[in-house]
Amino acid sequence: MCGIVGLAGVEDAALVRCMAEAVAHRGPDGEGFFVGDGVSLGMRRLSIIDPAGSDQPLWSEDRQVLTICNGEIYNYRRLRTQLEKRGHSFRTAGDAETIVHAHEEYGDAGVHLLRGMFAYAVWDRRQRRLLLVRDRLGIKPLYYAQAGATLAFASEVKALLAVPGVSRALDVEALQRYLTLGYVPGPATILTAVRKLPPGHRLAWQAGRVEVRQYWDLVLDEGARRLPARAAAEAFREQLEDSVAHHQISDVPLGVLLSGGIDSAAVTALLAGGGRRVKTFTVGFEAGDGDEGELVAARTVARHFDTEHHEIVLGSGLADILPEIVRMQDEPLADPATVATFFVCRLAAGSVKVVLTGEGGDELLGGYPRYGWLRLGERLRRRPGLRAAARALLASLPHGVAGGRISQRLATLVGPAALEDRHLDWVATLSGDVQHALTGDGGRTAAGALVRELVGRSGTGDPVHDLMYADVKTWLPDDVLVKTDRMSMAASIEARVPLLDHRLMEFTASLPASMKAGTLATKALLRQALGRDLPAATRRRRKRAFLVPLRRWLGGELRELLHDSLTSASARSRGLVRPEAVARLLHEQRSGRHDHGRALWTLLCLELWLTTVGDAAAAAHD
């Protein structure tokens, strides 16, 4: 795992060093640079495979092609054999060198050979052409910015901010979408000048011209011939075993981040099946919020597989560390689970350099209850009688805290809104009313348009598959994987996500949606595939959002930070949200009349990001 940075069209050793310094936490073990041919490339290395060799950049035999890479190529041994058969000679024992030789052999299409997580740059000295490639699902990040004929790229936004000429102006539309979703959906970033290279895309730069193209997309399908559920589960298990086996390849110790849920338990089960004792790591919160559940559930799994289990319980000190977490996130990201991930990665860093996680299971295997509910809704909506009855019930419900939840569910089922709007009702960080009061409806409209476009592009005709596709294109790379990458990198460890292996994804995508997300049962396929290996309590466990005691934090140790940040003179002067609406949220939260936890968290993360990273940006906006 590493950080890569670079400039095309400029030779500037000092600047590229400065950019690399900004991502030094991604690779504390070493660095490498290439400055010449009108380009400047740099990287910081965290050594996992072939720690002694594999210093980057890596070169082709004739020194005409070189690469810098962030990530892991899990099938590198097999690839190496294939490429050696075609006459290539390898100088290192590492995985990244396969990229150079695959590029020599297949050019841009070489990426199709790679199985893994990666973001890499290839400089072809003959053609004077730079190629940037990001993995299929966006597990590893890659940002870029253009200033005239110069292209700057980096694993993290921070490094691009070191480049003169890259404007820090805020993208106000992106900010609006952030307020709706809690993250900034790509390819935009919070800064107008900086773009994300979308997952499954490559970018070519030649003589100042930039071309971005997609090379891979996920195709969901109901399957022409119905596979019996048991047979599908067996085949799925085989694929998952294969993926976990590939994700174990490492020359340094590895462990598992155990959440107590079924995904990370499944990964643990398959690792433990390999015979070695697994190290597991779990984060929990102080008792009193019912959040011990997570710790207890994880302990059950750990005991069952006799792992070397480590726990961390979050106590105080959050207010001091939160600004640092926000800074590491690179962009505003209002996912409270980030805090938990930060601490559990720091815990794991004490004993391992690589961790496997269960990330991706919810998107791939239908872990979100909303999939089932929305499908049920689509069915009910086709029956006028039932629909009318449910709408009458909906209209008669009183407003209140409990009633609010029930009526939200009902509205999701039978409400008149379009699928994408009902989906947004479910996932939005701000309710429509709150966002309206804060900024107007622009963000919600834009987010709705984005989901609608993705649902249209998916085009499977099955609402569950279409929404899964939308999640895989937005929420997964721009929230879940940002959280996983940045927080693991902040602790200088590598996180691997075996459930997001593209071959496993492609197989699962070809199974009927009903096998993944039942109306009331989530992850039926995974439960059936691994059921007998897991403790009964884990197998039966219902999906729950990662419960962070947000309300307690905001009312307790973060209370001052929250108040000071959101009501400071600089916050009020930015003009991004209406101060009186913010004041009302704060007041209602304090008085206990409403729980605006997620809304306030979204605003707090934004404000902290603006003060720690984007001060100049805000100034530019004013």
Partner 1 sequence: MRLLLLTIDFPPGRGGVQTLLAQLATGLARTWDVVVVTPAAAGDQRWDAAQAYAVRRSWPAAWGLAALVGLHARALVALLGRRPDVLVCGHVLLGPFCRLVSVLLRVPYVAMAYAYEIRAPRLRPIAGLALRGARRVVTISEFGRRAVQAHGVAPASVVVVHPGAVERAPATTSTREPAPGRVVLTVGRLVDGYKGHDMVIRAMPLILARLPGVRYVVVGDGPRRAYLERLAVAHGVSHAVRFVGEVSDDEVDAWYRRCEVFVLAGRESDADGGAEGYGIACVEASLRGKPVVGGRSGGIPDAVVDGETGMLVDPLDPADIADAVTRLLAEPELAARLGRAGRRRALDELAWSRVTERMSRVLAQAAAG
Q: Which is nearer to partner 1, 105 or 251 (CB)?
A: 105
Q: Minimum CB separation from partner 1 for residue 466, in Å?
A: 13
Give the span between the Cα atoms of 472 and 477, in whole angstroms: 7
Q: Minimum CB separation from partner 1 for residue 238, in Å?
A: 8
Q: Which amino acid is at 314?
A: L
Q: Residue 479 gets which letter from DSSP?
A: I
Of these residues, 2, 69, 345, 605, which one is catalytic?
2
Q: Which is nearer to partner 1, 52 or 231 (CB)?
A: 231
Please give the backbone phi and psi of residue 380, each rounded to the nearest 5 degrees, phi first: -60, -40
Note whether 298 and 541 are within 8 A (CB): no
Note whether 491 and 199 are within 8 A (CB): no
Q: Which residues bind partner 1 (CB under 8 A)?
A: 79, 82, 105-110, 112-113, 213-219, 221, 223-225, 227-228, 230-232, 234-235, 238, 459, 510
Note whether 517 and 371 are within 8 A (CB): yes
Q: Minimum CB separation from partner 1 for residue 61, in Å?
A: 19
Q: Interhelix angle for 559-567 vs 579-591, to 10°?
A: 160
Please give the backbone phi and psi of residue 207, each rounded to the nearest 5 degrees, phi first: 50, 40
Q: Which is nearer to partner 1, 164 or 228 (CB)?
A: 228
Give the span between the Cα atoms of 182 and 194, in whole angstroms: 19
Q: Which is nearer to partner 1, 511 or 534 (CB)?
A: 511
Q: Which is nearer to partner 1, 75 or 431 (CB)?
A: 75
Give the span between the Cα atoms of 429 and 431, in whole angstroms: 7
- Give the residue from 43, 10, 32 showing the smallest Cα distance to 145: 10
Note whether 452 and 423 are within 8 A (CB): no
* Residue burial 329-353, b: 16+ Cβ < 10 Å; e: rest: bbbbbbbbbbbbbbbbbbbbbeebb
Q: Minimum CB separation from partner 1 for residue 115, in Å?
A: 11
- Give the residue from 337, 368, 310, 19 showing the smallest Cα distance to 161: 19
Is 2 one of the annotated active-site residues of the chain? yes
Give the span between the Cα atoms of 606 and 171, in whole angstroms: 13
Q: Minimum CB separation from partner 1 for residue 504, in Å?
A: 13
Q: Which is nearer to partner 1, 106 or 405 (CB)?
A: 106
Half-sphere exposure of 200 (CA within 13 A, CB side): 14
Give the span between the Cα atoms of 542 and 538, in whole angstroms: 9
Q: Is the dihedral angle over the CA atoms 213, 215, 220, 223 positive or is it negative? A: positive
Q: Which is nearer to partner 1, 90 or 546 (CB)?
A: 90
What length does the chain have?
A: 622
Q: Minimum CB separation from partner 1 for residue 552, in Å?
A: 45
Q: Locate tokens 């991004």: which residue?
A: 576
Q: Minimum CB separation from partner 1 for residue 157, in Å?
A: 28
Note whether 12 and 34 are within 8 A (CB): no
Give the span between the Cα atoms of 268 and 258, in whole angstroms: 8
Q: Which is nearer to partner 1, 83 or 339 (CB)?
A: 83
Neighbours of 456 (CB within 10 A): 11
- Give the residue from 557, 550, 548 showing the smallest Cα distance to 600: 550
Q: Which is nearer to partner 1, 218 or 262 (CB)?
A: 218
Q: Minimum CB separation from partner 1 for residue 220, in Å?
A: 9
Rg (CA), the chain: 24
Give the span between the Cα atoms of 170 and 190, in whole angstroms: 6
Give the span between the Cα atoms of 7 and 154, in whole angstroms: 9
Q: Minimum CB separation from partner 1 for residue 387, in Å?
A: 30
Instruction: Tell me which residues are annotated as active site.
Output: 2
